[in-house]
Amino acid sequence: MGTAIHDEVSQNGSYSSAVGGGSPKTSFGSPRAAAIAAVTNYKPSAPPMNFRDTPTGELFNCNVFSPAVMKKRLPKPVYKALMRTIESGDKLDSSVADVVASAMKDWAIEKGATHYAHVFYPLTGLTAEKHDSFLTPDGEGGAIAEFSGKQLIQGEPDGSSFPTGGIRVTFEARGYTIWDVTSPAYILENDNGTTLCIPTAFVSWTGEALDKKTPVLRSMQALNTQAQRVLKLFGHTDGALVSSTAGPEQEYFLVDRNFYYARPDLVNAGRTLFGAKPPKGQEFDDHYFGAIPDRVLAFMLECERELFKLGIPVKTRHNEVAPGQYEVAPMFEFANLATDHQQLLMTTLKRVAEKYGMVCLTHEKPFAGVNGSGKHVNWSMGSASQGNLLDPGDTPHDNAQFLLICAAVIRAVHKYQGLLRSVVASASNDHRLGANEAPPAIISVFLGDQLTDVFEQIKGGGANSSIPKGTLTVGVDVLPPLPKDAGDRNRTSPFAFTGNRFEFRAVGANQSIAGPLVAMNTIIAESLDFCATRLEETIGGDPDKLHGELQKLLTEIMTDHGAIIFNGDGYSEAWHAEAAERGLLNLKTTADALPVLETEEVKELFTKYSVLSERELESRLETYLEQYCMSVGVEANLTIEMAKTMIFPAAIRYQNELAATCANLKLLGYTFDTNSLDAVTDLVKNLQDSIADLEGAVAEPESDDLMAEARHCCDEVLPAMLKVRTYADALEGWVADDLWPLPTYQEMLFIK
C-alpha cells in the first residue's frame, strides 16, 4: 500500500500535498518522512480574516431566510401565518407556499444563488442534498428563473438508495422531501457561487420516515401535547407551544492532512487501527484550556465566521483534554433547529479545516490511549410564556411545577435507561463509553446536592427547605466574592442536571443528535402523560387537592425510580457493583444495546405517541445493525491489509538487519546479545499468527440474522483485531524509526 506524498512549495511559500500511487519512497525517504517535512514547512495559504470590513454582529444570520427577512419580504398575512406555524405549532397553510417561494427565490438570487437544494438527513446520520437550477427554458431560446410553491414544498430524491431498513427495496424508488418551515432556509457559499438550501423531511412513497428529522418533529409534538396537560394543572392555559431545546457541545481532533493521507486507517475508518502510546500523552493536563495554537485559532475564527453567517450561535471554543483535541459549543436553540445546525457545524468544521492544511476528525476514538470525543447534548424544555420549565429557582422545594417536571424526567430515564443507551450505540462510540474518560455505559442521573436533598425530603414525606447557594471567597482582597452554586458538577454522569437543564453526556462526537433527542422527547412525553393522568384522576377537577396529590405522586416516583440517581464516581469499579445491585442495566457494547429497540416496551412507547411506527422502528434497528457490522468489517479488512502490506514488511526488514548484524559480528569473533533479535522474531511470528486468526474470523460466512452477525463482530472480529494491533504496536517500539511506515502518535498529536 505504498502512498507517495509530494511536497510542492509554491512561489508564495505555501504548500499543497499531492497524494498518489507509485513508489513508497520519495526524496524524503518514505511517505512518513515526506509528511513530517510537509507539516514542518507549512505556511498558511488562506488569507487572514478581515473582521473590520464586516463586523461580527452584522454577520450573524446574514445568509439565513430568517423571520426578520421574511417580515420585510412577505405580505403581512403570509408572514403571520408562517410565524404561527413556527412559534405555535399551527398547521402550515400550503396556500402561502407560492408567495414564500417567490420571495425566497428573489432573496437567494440577490445573494448569487443559481440553484436550490432540498437538504435532508437520511439514516446514515449524514447530510444529503438534491440540487436543482432556478433556470427554466422559456421556449424562445432563453431561460427564466422560476421557483414555485410546489417546488418549495416537495422534492423527489430516490427513496431506495439510502438506508431504509427494508421499508424501500431497490425497485421501489420513489421518496419525497417535504419543506420544514420551522428550520429556516439558508445560503451555502462556494468560491464559484451560492446555493439556496431548504431543510426538509424525507419520507417514502408510502409515508414512512426515511430520515432523522421527521421523528424529531413528531417527538416534539408529542412532548408539547403532554406538557400542556401538566401546565393546565397549574393554571397555565395560554397554550403557548412547549418545545424541547438543545445545545450540543462538539469535540473534535485536528490532524495535519499530510499525516492523514499517510494513514490509510484514518482515511477509511476515521480512527487509527495501529499506534503505540507516545512517551508523552495527556498525563500532564497541559493541553486542556491551554493557549490555542495560531494555526488552529485561525481555523476556529474562520469557522465561527461561517457559522455566524448561517445563524448558528456558537459561543465557546477551547483546547480539550487530549493533545490535538478541541471543542466548540453553541447556545440553546429549538431541538429541531439545533439538530440541523449541528449537522451544518460538523460539515463546516471539516470544510474549513482543509483550507488550513488540516483534517477535522469527529470519530469518537481516533487515537487509543488518549481521551476520545463526545457530543454533550444539553436538553431542556420551555415556552414563550413560562420560560425554562427546568429552572428550579432559588428555592426549588417551593417550586411544585419544576419538581413535577424534574421527577418526570427522573422516572423517564429510569424506566427507559436501555433505550437511552441504545440511541448512542455505534461501533465508534463503543471505544469511548466506559473508558474512564467518558460516562459509563450504565445510565444514571446526577442531581447535585441541592436537588438530591429536596427529593430525599420529598421521599420522606415533604420538602421544607433548599440548600442555599451561598458565596465563595478565596481570601484575596482584590478578588471579588462569587455567588456559589448549591451543588457541584459530575463529569462522570451520563445524564446530569446542570442548573437549568439535563446534559446527556453519552452521545458520540460523530453522531447526529436526532436519535437522542427523539428518545428524550418521547420518554419524557410518556412520563408527563403518566403524571398528568394520575393527577387529573386523583384531583377530579378540584385544584385544592393538587398539593396533597402531587406530594403522593412525587413520593411514589422517588420510591419506584430513585435508584437511577447517583451522585458519585461513575468511573469506579464499586459503582458497577452497586449499579447491578440497584438493578440498573450495563449494556457495554452496541451488540448488547441495540436489541432494546425490539422490546415490546419500546415499540409501545413510540407507537403510542405516533413518533415511530413498528415498521419504522424495525427499519432503524436493521439499519443500525448493518452500519455496525459494516463499520467493523471495514476496519477488520483495513487491519489485515495494513498489517500485511505495511507493518509486516517493515518488521521483516528490521529483523533481517538485526540478523545480518548478528551474523557479521559472529564472523568477526564478537559476542552479540540476541535478545533483541529473539524479541523481534517472536513479535513477527505472533503478528503473522494473529493476522491469520483475524482472516479466519472475517472469512466466516455472513449470517442472515443481523443480530447474530453483530454479535460475531463484537465477540470474535473485534478481539482478533485488537490482538493484531497488540503485536503491531509492540513492534513499533522495536523497528528502526526510518523503517516504520506510519506517522506515529507523537507526530500526529503534537506537530501542528
Average pLDDT of 285-306?
89
Q: How many CB atoms lie within 10 A of CB 16?
A: 13
- Could you tell me which of 528, 558, 533 has the C-alpha nearest to residue 461? 558
Residues facing 115 on adjacent strands: 133, 195
Assigned C-alpha cell, 400:
411544585
Q: Which positions ≥6 away from 387 have C-beta within 8 Å?
A: none
* Residue 355 pLDDT exceeds 60: yes
Dump pLDDT digits (tens) for 21-80.
Answer: 333 344 446 778 787 777 777 776 666 666 667 777 788 999 999 999 999 999 999 999
Highest mean pLDDT pick, 286-300, 356-370, 660-674: 356-370
Dump pLDDT digits (tens) for 371-415.
Answer: 999 999 999 999 999 999 999 988 888 899 999 999 999 999 999
User: What span, in angstroms and rounded, lies between the C-alpha atoms of 110 and 114?
Assistant: 10
Average pLDDT of 679-692?
97
Q: Are 730 and 722 in contact (CB under 8 A)?
A: no
DSSP letter at 230 equals H
The H or E element containing residue 58 is helix 56-59
Residue 213 is predicted with a pLDDT of: 96
Average pLDDT of 158-168?
78
Q: Are 517 and 216 in contact (CB under 8 A)?
A: yes
Dump pLDDT digits (tens) for 564-576.
Answer: 999 999 999 999 9
* Residue 481 pLDDT exceeds 90: no
Confidence of residue 319 (pLDDT cuts 50, 70, 90): confident
Residues facing 190 on adjacent strands: 193
Which pairs with CB-CB distance under 8 Å and at least 24 residues apart come from 699-702?
none
DSSP letter at 505 equals T
DSSP string, 659-709: HHHHHHHHHTT-----HHHHHHHHHHHHHHHHHHHHHHHHHSPPPS-HHHH
User: What are the phi and psi torsion angles at 497 (to 5°)?
Assistant: -80, 130
SS3 549: helix
* Residue 686 pLDDT exceeds 80: yes
CA distances to 217, 325, 533, 568, 570 from 492, in Å: 30, 19, 35, 8, 5
- 32 vs 577, more confident: 577
Residue 44 is predicted with a pLDDT of: 67
Q: Which positions ≥6 away from 195 have C-beta within 8 Å?
A: 113, 114, 115, 116, 117, 131, 187, 188
Residue 392 is predicted with a pLDDT of: 92
* Residue 656 pLDDT exceeds 90: yes
Dump pLDDT digits (tens) for 513-566.
Answer: 999 999 999 999 999 999 999 999 999 989 899 999 999 999 999 999 999 999
User: What span, in angstroms and rounded, lies between the C-alpha atoms of 183 and 180?
Assistant: 6
User: What span, in angstroms and rounded, lies between the C-alpha atoms of 257 and 424?
Assistant: 29
- 271 vs 147, more confident: 271
Average pLDDT of 186-197?
93
Residue 15 is predicted with a pLDDT of: 35
Residues facing 133 on adjacent strands: 115
Cell 471495514: give the residue: 634
User: What span, in angstroms and rounded, lies between the C-alpha atoms of 246 and 377?
Assistant: 6
DSSP letter at 294 equals H
Residue 330 is predicted with a pLDDT of: 92
User: What span, in angstroms and rounded, lies between the C-alpha atoms of 350 and 363?
Assistant: 12
In the sheet that holds 314-319, the strands lie side by side as 314-319, 325-330, 250-256, 358-361
Q: How many CB atoms lie within 10 A of CB 3?
A: 23
User: What span, in angstroms and rounded, lies between the C-alpha atoms of 559 and 551?
Assistant: 12
Q: Are 636 and 231 in contact (CB under 8 A)?
A: no
Average pLDDT of 104-120?
94
User: What span, in angstroms and rounded, lies between the C-alpha atoms of 104 and 95?
Assistant: 15
User: What span, in angstroms and rounded, lies between the C-alpha atoms of 411 and 530?
Assistant: 10
Whether the CA torsion 565, 571, 572, 574 is positive or negative: it is: positive
Q: Which positions ≥6 away from 190 have C-beta within 8 Å?
A: none
Residue 29 is predicted with a pLDDT of: 60
Whether the CA torsion 442, 488, 383, 231 is positive or negative: it is: positive
DSSP letter at 274 equals -
Confidence of residue 173 (pLDDT cuts 50, 70, 90): confident
Please, what is the Cα angle at 304 between 341 and 100, to 5 degrees?
A: 45
Residue 468 is predicted with a pLDDT of: 79
Confidence of residue 661 (pLDDT cuts 50, 70, 90): confident
User: What span, in angstroms and rounded, lies between the C-alpha atoms of 335 and 341?
Assistant: 10
Confidence of residue 209 (pLDDT cuts 50, 70, 90): very high
CA distances to 147, 457, 557, 585 from 564, in Å: 53, 17, 11, 10
User: What span, in angstroms and rounded, lies between the C-alpha atoms of 297 and 529?
Assistant: 47
Q: How many CB atoms lie within 10 A of CB 607?
A: 14
Q: How many CB atoms lie within 10 A of CB 680?
A: 21
Cell 455472513: give the residue: 702
- 188 vs 29, more confident: 188
Q: Are 282 and 313 in contact (CB under 8 A)?
A: no
Confidence of residue 467 (pLDDT cuts 50, 70, 90): confident
CA distances to 453, 469, 502 from 485, in Å: 14, 5, 16
Share of the chain above pLDDT 70, in %: 92
The region of weakest confidence among 133-142, 218-227, 644-653 is 133-142
Share of the chain above pLDDT 90, in %: 67
Question: Residue 129, exposed/middle/buried by CB under 10 A (0-12, 13-18, 19+)?
Answer: middle
Greatest alpha-carbon span in the chain: 104
Residue 42 is predicted with a pLDDT of: 72
* Residue 678 pLDDT exceeds 80: yes
Domains and their CATH numbers in the chain = 4-40 (no CATH), 62-209 (3.10.20.70), 212-235+398-611 (no CATH), 250-373 (3.30.590.10), 627-750 (1.20.120.1560)
Assigned C-alpha cell, 251:
469535540
- Could you tell me which of 442, 482, 481 has the C-alpha nearest to residue 566? 442
Assigned C-alpha cell, 269:
475508518
Residue 420 is predicted with a pLDDT of: 98
Q: Are 690 and 698 in contact (CB under 8 A)?
A: no
